[in-house]
Structure 1
Amino acid sequence: MTALAPAPAAVPDAGEHRRVQVISRKAPIAFAIVTGLFAILLLAVPREGDATFRFATVGDLFTIPNATVPGMATAWTAVVIMGLATVAAFVLVARRRRVPGWISLVFAFVFLVGFLAWAAAGSPSDIPAVRLIGGSVLLSVPIVFGALGGVIGERAGVVNIAIEGQLLAGAFTGAFVGSVTGSPWAGLVAAIVSGVLVALVLGVFAITYKVNQVIVGVVLNVLVIGMTSFLYSQVLVPNAERFNDTERFSRIAIPLLSKIPVIGPALFNQTIVVYVMYLTVPAVWFALMRTRWGLRVRAVGEHPSAADTVGIKVERTRYRALVIAGAIAGVGGAFYTVVSVSSFGKEMTAGAGFIALAAVIFGKWDPIRAALAALLFGFASNLEGALSIVGAPVPSQFMLMLPYVVTILAVAGLVGRSRAPAADGVPYIKE
């Protein structure tokens, strides 16, 4: 008898592509850490009494009644739900499946409700939902514009560390020109021009002279900080009424939409700059993802040599992208002095440009995701004010550093895997 030879193993077709899915344990680990820390907080600092959430404002189409809940019971219920979400996340990862985004959203929402219920327990003041949402939107406006500028620049292959300088220059020129002319519109235009000028300086050194883009961005930030600080002390302070007292844009209530409970007053009773932000986010996404210009920008950011071989002018495309990015960042800078306050303050951007860079990474170089990340940072900044209203036993210093902690976590990659454009930060040298 002859032994049967074993059947040859199936050889995969050379043209067959295998998709390898990388499963990260970062989400369940982060869930577990947050749940554990929240439970420890409830055990260490228990609070007695009820918490009240206020949803109604004057002029709503219909009134949503206040919600009064037992503070500690609600907080512990949130811990249980968060624990279940954590277990579900670990099970999914063990089965080599990704954690769906909706689980993360539910986890974050439940944690927020539980934390606010604990913070407001026994307080005579309630938690105004409209103020919480509206304040978050306002604080996120310059970060959103800065993040959109960062996305455009990095999609084209230029790391724009100078967003902080563009925001600060926009804030200064917006205040100065707006004060001299008496028009916030003139201040807004001047802020856009200053943002473009800073972007052009970055482009000259980073694109034309091939200088390290990170170093150029840092130097530009220091330069703008020094110039604005000098001009502030030498020009604006001695002549504050003439050069540092601009008119601000007034709020414009959109009929019907501004009457929607909770979200209406928060989103649709804002200034023109905020409405421009609503339009700019989808416009930038459409321009980058659905137009010929966007295709060229992404091409020079991913593979400039291949783009050059098909006739795309790499340096010209990068310059145009930087100019557009600088104009958008300039609008964010104008927000500080023609919307938020009516005067310029020394270093008033307070690192918002660097938070915008973190939003770019957090949003994985996508305009819409970056804008949502900026909203998250704005909410983290606004939370300190909401907790001070209800007298929460949380040190104000801790809440003030919360946006920067979130920024560090985003940059460290704890929010998920991100891949920058392949040629991001790499100067193009034509062979």
Structure 2
Amino acid sequence: MSLERIVSSILSLGVTLSTPLAIAGIGEVISERAGVIDLGIDGIMLLGAFIGFHVSLQTGNTYLGYLAGVGVGVLMGLILAVLSVYLKLNQAITGMGLYFLGFGLSDFFYRTIYGEKEVYLPPPTPLSVPVLANIPVIGPSLFQQLDMVYFMYALVPLAWLLINRTKLGLWIRSVGENPKAADAMGVNVSMIQTVSVLVGAGLAGLAGAFLSIGITQVFYENLTYGIGFIAIGLVYFGKWSPVRTFAGALLFGLSWSVAISTQSYFNAIGRPDLVYFLLALPYLIITLALVIVSRQARGPKWLGRPYIRE
């Protein structure tokens, strides 16, 4: 295989692997900009992954599976909104409770319905963009991709425009920075926070559904391997910007792709120990990047604090 094809293959896999991280991370950006931390993202992704996988398997329709993932995400987000926004409970505790709920239910439903059987979905067919897909190296990597990758391409600028160039985005930012002032200006703080949480949770559910339908074509216990928590970390890495969060997701995805793509080589030369190191490398890179960036990171002033109207 030529160097060009190797680079193109690594880049293509990296973009694909970064997609669920970017989608979930951008959803968390929207939620946190409104002042609500959703630590339950990984649980939402797990439940969205199973429900999306199950619906897609039963109907034979990938997009119904994606919609089911969004639906279960919104439902989980509604639980979080009721507990955190309206009942004013501790956001960290409610978020972790949501994580354990999603983790437990996803495995329970899978074991109940499928038992010990290994059930697979057919691999999805990449969609090719005419002309652009013919660009050497980057063409096949970026423009001969799965459907949700193109959704990610659109989501990044749309989320940036929503937050920075719309009235709704102004309300979201004002609620996250100073809900008292926003309330005084007539903004319904609880409603804005609820909508933001539902959007973020719905995107997390979609990210989980893509993970099982588009990437693995199978569901198993703890399918996410904690990448929901990585998505939360990427929000801090990206300083609550959709574009920077996407850049962090791409960094993680590419390093993950390099680790996966070089496994066969290191196994062939009798160094399987390096395979495990390389698989841990993406997590080490993101941890190091978070340590470097977090010193200058400043989140919304009201992040994680319940707003009690006086």
Answer yes or no: same fold by TM over 0.5: yes
Name 2:302's counterpart in structure 1: 423
Q: Deviations over 1:351-410 (max 9, x none)?
A: 010110111010000000001001111112112123334438661221121222233334
> Matches of residues 375-414 of structure 1 in structure 2 within 5 Å?
375-391=250-266, 395-414=274-293
User: Are 2:71 and 1:196 equivalent residues in the alignment?
Assistant: no
Q: Deviations over 1:277-298 (max 9, x none)?
A: 1001110010110000000000
CA contact (8 A) 2:20 2:210 kept: yes
Alignment counterpart, residue 328 of structure 1, candidates 203, 228, 232: 203
2: distance between equivalents of 1:413 and 1:162?
Answer: 25
User: Are 2:44 and 1:169 equivalent residues in the alignment?
Assistant: no
Give 1:416 shift.
5.0
2: distance between equivalents of 1:330 and 1:224?
Answer: 10
Q: Secondary structure at the match of 2:110?
A: helix
Q: Deviations over 1:157-189 (max 9, x none)?
A: 001111111211111111111111111111011
Give the structure-2-normalised TM-score: 0.94
Larger Rg: 1
CA contact (8 A) 1:178 1:185 kept: yes
CA contact (8 A) 2:128 2:145 kept: yes
User: Are 2:136 and 1:187 equivalent residues in the alignment?
Assistant: no
User: Are 2:192 and 1:317 equivalent residues in the alignment?
Assistant: yes
Assess, with a 3 A threshold, how the Cα gap between structure 1 residues 349 and 371 changes in structure 2: closer, same or farther: same
Assess, with a 3 A threshold, how the Cα gap between structure 1 residues 245 and 390 changes in structure 2: closer, same or farther: closer
CA contact (8 A) 2:28 2:235 kept: yes
> Matches of residues 101-180 of structure 1 in structure 2 within 5 Å?
128-180=6-58
Q: Deviations over 1:265-314 (max 9, x none)?
A: 10100111111110011100101100000000000000000000000000
2: distance between equivalents of 1:237 and 1:372?
Answer: 39
Q: Percent identity?
A: 36
2: distance between equivalents of 1:344 and 1:386?
Answer: 22
Assess, with a 3 A threshold, how the Cα gap between structure 1 residues 423 and 184 changes in structure 2: closer, same or farther: same
Name 1:274's counterpart in structure 2: 149
CA contact (8 A) 1:196 1:323 kept: yes
Q: Secondary structure at the match of 1:148?
A: helix
2: distance between equivalents of 1:380 and 1:265?
Answer: 19
Give the structure-1-normalised TM-score: 0.68
Name 1:369's counterpart in structure 2: 244
Assess, with a 3 A threshold, how the Cα gap between structure 1 residues 375 and 325 changes in structure 2: closer, same or farther: same
Letter in 2 for 1:137: V
Unaligned runs of 5+ in 2: none
1: distance between equivalents of 2:177 and 2:294?
Answer: 23
CA contact (8 A) 2:26 2:246 kept: yes
Unaligned runs of 5+ in 1: 1-51, 57-127
CA contact (8 A) 2:148 2:210 kept: yes
CA contact (8 A) 1:157 1:426 kept: yes
The number of equivalent residue pairs is 306
2: distance between equivalents of 1:188 and 1:414?
Answer: 33
Assess, with a 3 A threshold, how the Cα gap between structure 1 residues 289 and 197 changes in structure 2: closer, same or farther: same
Letter in 2 for 1:308: D
Structure with higher helix content: 2
Give 1:238 shift.
5.6
User: Are 2:161 and 1:286 equivalent residues in the alignment?
Assistant: yes
1: distance between equivalents of 2:22 and 2:245?
Answer: 7
Alignment counterpart, residue 339 of structure 1, candidates 203, 214, 219: 214
Name 1:63's counterpart in structure 2: none
Higher relative contact order (CA 8 A, sep 6+): 2
Q: CA RMSD in A?
A: 1.8
Alignment counterpart, residue 256 of structure 1, candidates 126, 131, 139: 131
Q: Which runs of 4+ in 1 moved over 3 A?
A: 244-249, 389-394, 410-416
Name 1:55's counterpart in structure 2: 4
1: distance between equivalents of 2:121 and 2:279?
Answer: 28
Name 1:237's counterpart in structure 2: 115
CA contact (8 A) 2:47 2:105 kept: no
Q: Deviations over 1:109-143 (max 9, x none)?
A: xxxxxxxxxxxxxxxxxxx1001111111111110
